[in-house]
Amino acid sequence: MLDAERLLQPHGGAKTAIEIVPVEKSRWEAFRKTLSSRERAWADAQAFGAETGKALICPTEGGGIARILYGDSADADPFMPGKLARALPPGRYRFAKGLTNPKLAALGWLLESYEFAIDPGASKLARTILECPSGIDRAGLIREANAVFMVRDLVNRPANDLTPDALEAAVRKVAKAGRAALRIIKGAALKRGFPLIHTVGMASIGPPRLADFTWGNPRHPRLTLIGKGVCFDTGGLDIKPASGMALMKKDMGGAATVLGLAQMIMAAKLPVRLRVLTPIVENSIAGNSFRPGDVYRSRKGLTVEIGNTDAEGRLILADAMALADEEKPDLMLTLATLTGAARVALGPDLPPFYTDDDPLAAAIGRHATAENDPLWRMPLWRPYNRLFESPVADLNNSSESGFAGSITAALFLRRFVEKAASYVHFDIFAWTPSPRPGRPKGGEAQAMRALFGVIRERYAR
């Protein structure tokens, strides 16, 4: 895996670093007058006017790079300066003073440097090195970037490579690095104690399982993270069309994001008693697949009628949530690539979240903005509970209506939480469909950095 520590060097570590000078367009004419006649002529010849995101390489007389002029703007994506990581020749660079947001610019640089390759040795991306801006927490930036890299690597791996066994191995690796206590529940124990997880995954050659690890002082506040770990989703007997199945390797994006968040929490040694639950399945088709119309009893005791086998993520989360709720956590978070309806409502870049905790929702919104990790609160509109009523069970896993799909999914999950002091559900996409600053096309760790900020603030010593 790419290591951010190599890409972000300590501040002032080398006198040879090339300076990147930020200039806002509104200040360009005044700044232009301060240039040498040679640089002024060069800028004019290149028609450079400090437009947002544009860069001008100023050459030395010997053909090297003297410095970089960069069009900065407070209105631009804070990761925009990070695009220079791919645009500039290999070398060592540093941002001059005056950049709008040096922390997010540096993080954007690291995230822009990511490239997925099944064989890491086959990567051809030339790496540029950045000096950490003065006064910025370098260790924190490295911790964030490495967590994002891990999440992206997991989501980008094809399903024939990231099997249920392989996702379990990834959980084991994170737990081992944090010295967390891990148990894996599978086979008869899973069928007995977590019937919905078993039901969804029983048709796959990769057996279903629940990974459960804990870390931290038992006397600290209990924080539980639950991530949907569907390694591939065919839709089951309600099979998806080819277009709907094309990206289903990313249906474990919730699990990957939870692992990244857990890695950050443990590395930062936050004062929490952390529990991470990862239900791991593959929703496959075979003679023993679960069927529309089947009725199953959940761990919580609620019976669920299967209205649609393609609404499997909420089933595996429900059993994991019931387990988590039994120990009355202070905060429970679920992250899942749960519904296409969330994308219809808000698009791929803005995941919705659901909670009844107004102060917590406000904190999430604040940190989402501060960390350039966008999120948007959606309502747990209780009247829509009627949409998944069942005549033969306590509830149906799918609504016959085509309306409010993300809300009804969140309401379904909410039925499995009673004892947690606070609960939030995130309906993430875990994918960047077209490249943006700091976000290459492919797997993405949505909500993770914002949540780390919320958790760090909530449980500050």
| Residue 369: inside a domain | yes
**Nearest CA-CA partner of 190 in 161, 157, 168:** 168
Q: Residue 207: inside a domain, yes or no?
A: yes
Question: What are the structure tokens assigned to 380, written together?
Answer: 């747990």
Query: Which tens digit of pLDDT belongs to each residue from 361-399?
Result: 999 999 999 999 999 999 999 999 999 999 999 999 998
Residue 119 and residue 197 share a domain:
no
Say yes or no: 55 and 158 in one domain.
no
Find, among 129, 162, 332, 180, the residue nearest to 233 by Cα.
162
- What is the domain extent for residue 392? 149-458
* pLDDT given for residue 439 in this prediction: 97
Which residue shows structure tokens 């994170």?
A: 174
Which of 138, 240, 436, 456 is catalytic? The answer is 240
pLDDT in 10s for each residue of the chain, 461 residues: 789 999 999 987 667 899 999 999 999 999 999 999 999 999 999 999 999 999 999 999 888 999 999 999 999 999 999 999 999 999 999 999 999 999 999 999 999 999 998 776 666 666 899 999 999 999 999 999 999 999 999 999 999 999 999 999 999 999 999 999 999 999 999 999 999 999 999 999 999 999 999 999 999 999 999 999 999 999 999 999 999 999 999 999 999 999 999 999 999 999 999 999 999 999 999 999 999 999 999 999 999 999 999 999 999 999 999 999 999 999 999 999 999 999 999 999 999 999 999 999 999 999 999 999 999 999 999 999 999 999 999 999 998 888 999 999 999 999 999 999 999 999 999 999 999 999 999 999 999 999 999 999 999 86
Say which CATH number the domain at 85 has.
Answer: 3.40.220.10
Residues 127 and 206 in one domain: no
Residues 102 and 154 in one domain: no
In this prediction, residue 121 carries a pLDDT of 63
CA gap 364, 451 in Å, rounded: 7
Q: Are residues 208 and 113 in the same domain?
A: no
In sequence order, the β-bridge partners of residue 432 are: 442
Of the candidates 115, 136, 157, which is a domain's last residue?
136
86 tagged catalytic = no
Give the three-state DSSP class for 65: strand
The DSSP code for 114 is: -
Q: Is residue 378 part of a domain?
A: yes
Same domain, 118 and 263: no
CB atoms within 10 A of CB 253: 29
- On the 0-12 / 13-18 / 19+ scale of CB atoms within 10 A, 396 is buried
pLDDT digits (tens, 9 = 90+) for 311-351: 999 999 999 999 999 999 999 999 999 999 999 999 999 99
Active-site option among 186, 273, 300, 314:
314
Residue ending a domain, among 75, 102, 136, is 136
Tokens describing residue 215: 């870390």
Is 256:194 a contact under the CB 8 Å cutoff?
A: no
Domain count, the chain: 2
pTM > 0.85: yes or no: yes
Domain end position, chosen among 87, 103, 136: 136
Which amino acid is present at 115?
A: E
Instruction: Give catalytic status of residue 6 as yes or no.
Output: no
Q: Are residues 428 and 297 in the same domain?
A: yes
CATH code of the domain covering residue 310: 3.40.630.10
Same domain, 91 and 204: no
Is residue 411 in some structural domain?
yes
In a domain, 33, yes or no: yes
Same domain, 214 and 317: yes
Output the pLDDT for position 113. 95
- Judge whether 116 lies within some domain: yes
* Residues 213 and 171: beta-carbon distance below 8 Å: yes
Asked if residue 438 and residue 338 are part of one domain, the reply reads yes
Alpha-carbon span 357 to 289, nearest angstrom: 38
Answer yes or no: do 109 and 187 share one domain. no
The answer as to whether 144 is a domain residue is no
One domain, residues 128 and 217 = no
Residue 15 lies in a domain: yes
**pLDDT for 193-215, tens place per residue?**
999 999 999 999 999 999 999 99
